[in-house]
Structure 1
Amino acid sequence: MCWVKLVCTQKALAEGLATVERAVPTKSPLPVLSNVLLQTDERRLKLVANNLEMAISAWVAANVAEEGAVTLPARLLGDFVASLGGGDIQMEIKPGTRTMHLACGRFEANINGIDADDFPAAPAVGDGSRCRIAAKTLRTAITQVVFAAAADETRPVLSGVLVTIDGSELTMAAADGFRLAVRAVSLADPVAEKLTLLAPARTLNELARIIPDSEDPVEITATHNRNQVVFQFPASDSGRAPTLLVVGRLIEGQFPDYQRIIPQSYQTRVVVPVSDLLQATKTASVFSRDNSNIVRISATPSGDELVPGRVDVLASSAEMGDNAGQLDGSVEGDAVQIAFNGRYLREALEAVHSGEVALEITSPTSPGLVKPLAGPGHLHVIMPMHVAR
């Protein structure tokens, strides 16, 4: 065991531990995976957690007196550090032991650990294409698609998000067999080689939660054998040392050709304010939750260009009652009635960050297309629900 001796602030250590703890497994056959790796890295302390599907590394500023590494129980260490009232924490391990002594103000603790050599090694990053994208943009794109991935792993490829980086565009797509979400964003610097990655939705979810709300770039690349994806913040060419590194194991398999299910035409197009349709959908969902989450939308054109069309959002329950909400909107084409899963429609609308949204319908039995009016490259396809008339 190497000698470890350093001082860092309670606040910085607590924040770093809270970040990496997201990769600590709830149960693991390997005791060391329930630990967090503490490793000195020049004038910083590196924290790493790894569940073999995802690894998260965070760096904390520290005054390092002696270099070394050890793993300590993640939950115990995190809870203890979080309970302290602030100030500096002194941390020290003497040679020949695996016990970390921590002192902060008038509080002290001794925590037994496991040798750092037993902790999984970090993967080697490949030399291929590297994509750089603003952290804020990446986080927004993730939150606009990741919810559409399948929650179970019956079909593993649908539990992931397809990330395609080609030229000066990054596209994310997720589908669970009942809906599809697609988001494309432009890159300031085009990549020389196309990169296609099928990343677990869980990994991207955690990345979106911990990535800073910053215009500084995140670097995306793959490992040498292309079985893991690496997200580094800030990017390696930023001139600054990394503060966050997320590595996720990629999913094997072929993601469906989602372009084939995106409707290319419509018979009816409804344009309404996002907030109005979202509110009506949430209200209808109060009644639809006892009826398979069925929310019906009826759109009727006015026949007069100066008069808005009528959009009704309906839900009913045989035991509880029914609900109807009426909206004004632009209705182009034929009158139509269609039913959707209320949760799918609500989540699609919550991901739209613009004032108005378009709902394009081909027929009551065909997929509906939801897309914001402002900004291309963002859409949701929702399969209809069949209801008795």
Structure 2
Amino acid sequence: MRVTCSQEQLARGLSIVGRAVATRTTLPVLSNIFIGTDDHRLKLVATNLEIGITAWVPAQVIEEGATTVPARLIEDLVKQSPAETIELEMKNANELGYHCASISATIRGIPAEEFPIIPTSETAEGEVVTLPADLLKEMISQVVFAAATDEMRPVLTGVLVKFEDDTLTMAAADGYRMSVRSAAVGAAVEAPVSVIVPARALNELARILPSDSTVDVILSPNRNQILFHADDMDLVSQLIEGAFPDYRKIIPQTHKTRTVVDTGQLLQAVRRALIFARDAANIVRLRFEPGNGLEGRMVVSAQATEAGGNEEVLPAAVEGDAMEVAFNGRYLVDVLSVMHSAQTVIQTQSSSHPGVFRPANEDTNFTHVIMPMHI
């Protein structure tokens, strides 16, 4: 193999695939990045066997070939190189020559034949659904944080991805909170499809997706993998087996109090309350006091035995019964940070029932449920 490419393009490609490199593995080749030629482009691949990321970099291919080199070494070397043309040349199956300006280096690697074969959009089979990348990134941001990190229930460490007719629904839950986001994607699928995608895979996808492109979602016929393709990158992920809880049964259908409050004001008030609440299990109290129209108010407070406490009053439209409900303040910050609406609607039943949070903008189908804290 002998190719030339720009330092900027190679650095970008390595940053895309680098997060898929295995950090703890018994297979040394998984700590490497595959570098090979592919139809007048340079192909970069990394995998930890759970997710695989492929990126293509514009290059001048002088001689075909492929190898694998240590991920951290090649990433650091390219980052520290000047913004000039880089030449990569295989000296033998285990050595890659690297040249850039006055830099001349030899990188020892592992033959490409030992690297796992990672499916790409060019080889994958299955039904394809295309949607805007910015919409998919927004949907991921609104649900993925609610996925569990505890491996005791593997299905909860993933996000339900459901295609039905022309609608995509994503849902995540960890036993204390749940996020559900739906959106029309334009094209209808032949039959309803539901899979559970690891939250980490979706986090990485949102990180590398260009916002101004479209994404092809490809589901393998045997439903064991899902592949996302956009521009010059692919991400393929294994799926989690199991049955995701019926999210529709978790969302409360009735409420006694409905509050509409400014999202930014509430977010800042909760963040200030957390300064005290962090010494008291992150308990933040929301008190809803009805009034006439916008004359109602919401009181945000926190109390810590040693640190003290605070209380803030926010104007709000409160309909129904007066009540106080305690929530984990960090959960409140998480959902309010991705509300993407000037105002938030909060529906509550009692101090012992879950609270429902929705954007006041009815054009966005987003629902978040938080279990209350008992005090």
**Short-chain TM bin:** over 0.9
Whole-angstrom distance in 1 between the partners of 2:155 and 2:93: 45
Give 2:119's match in structure 1, choosing from 111, 117, 123: 123
Partner of 1:326: 313
Give 1:112's match in structure 2, choosing from 108, 111, 116: 108
Give 2:33's match in structure 1, choosing from 33, 36, 48: 36
TM-score scaled by length of structure 2? 0.97
* Superposed CA offset, 1:133-159 (max 9, x none): 111111111011100000121110000
Deviation at 1:126, TM superposition (A): 5.5
Give 2:88's match in structure 1, choosing from 88, 91, 108: 91
Amino acid corresponding to residue 90 of structure 1 in structure 2: E
* SS of alignment partner, residue 119 of structure 2: coil
> Contact conserved, 1:126 with 1:224, CA < 8 A, in 2?
no
Whole-angstrom distance in 2 between the partners of 1:332 and 1:129: 46
1:172-211 counterparts in 2 under 5 A? 172-211=170-209
2:45 maps to 1:58: no
Whole-angstrom distance in 2 between the partners of 1:223 and 1:122: 13
* SS of alignment partner, residue 19 of structure 2: helix
Instruction: Please identify runs of 4+ aligned residues in structure 1 that moved more than 3 A.
Output: 123-128
> Contact conserved, 1:123 with 1:223, CA < 8 A, in 2?
no
Partner of 1:273: 262
Partner of 1:237: none
Once the two structures are overlaid, the 10-residue window that deviates more, 75-84 or 118-127, is 118-127
2:375 maps to 1:378: no
Deviation at 1:255, TM superposition (A): 0.6
2:71 maps to 1:49: no
* SS of alignment partner, residue 110 of structure 2: coil
* SS of alignment partner, residue 276 of structure 2: helix
TM-score scaled by length of structure 1? 0.94
> Contact conserved, 1:131 with 1:165, CA < 8 A, in 2?
no
Whole-angstrom distance in 1 between the partners of 2:93 and 2:359: 60
Whole-angstrom distance in 2 between the partners of 1:49 and 1:165: 28
> Contact conserved, 1:168 with 1:191, CA < 8 A, in 2?
yes
Deviation at 1:225, TM superposition (A): 2.4
Partner of 2:352: 365
2:213 maps to 1:226: no
> Contact conserved, 1:357 with 1:373, CA < 8 A, in 2?
yes
Amino acid corresponding to residue 294 of structure 1 in structure 2: I
Give 2:145's match in structure 1, choosing from 123, 144, 147: 147
Partner of 2:329: 342
* SS of alignment partner, residue 14 of structure 1: helix
* SS of alignment partner, residue 127 of structure 2: coil
Whole-angstrom distance in 2 between the partners of 1:314 and 1:73: 51
Show structure 1 runs of 5+ residues with no match: 235-242
* SS of alignment partner, residue 384 of structure 1: coil
Partner of 1:11: 8
Q: Percent identity?
A: 46
Deviation at 1:127, TM superposition (A): 4.0
> Contact conserved, 2:127 with 2:220, CA < 8 A, in 1?
no
Whole-angstrom distance in 2 between the partners of 1:126 and 1:115: 24
Whole-angstrom distance in 2 between the partners of 1:338 and 1:370: 13
1:287-298 counterparts in 2 under 5 A? 287-298=276-287
Show structure 2 runs of 5+ residues with no match: none
Give 1:285's match in structure 2, choosing from 267, 274, 295: 274
> Per the alignment, do residues 33 and 101 of structure 1 end up closer, same or farther by CA in structure 2, a change over 3 Å counting?
same
> Contact conserved, 1:129 with 1:193, CA < 8 A, in 2?
no
* Superposed CA offset, 1:308-347 (max 9, x none): 1011001000011011010001000010110000001110
> Per the alignment, do residues 141 and 285 of structure 1 end up closer, same or farther by CA in structure 2, a change over 3 Å counting?
same
Give 1:317's match in structure 2, choosing from 281, 304, 307: 304
* Superposed CA offset, 1:271-295 (max 9, x none): 0110011111111111111111100
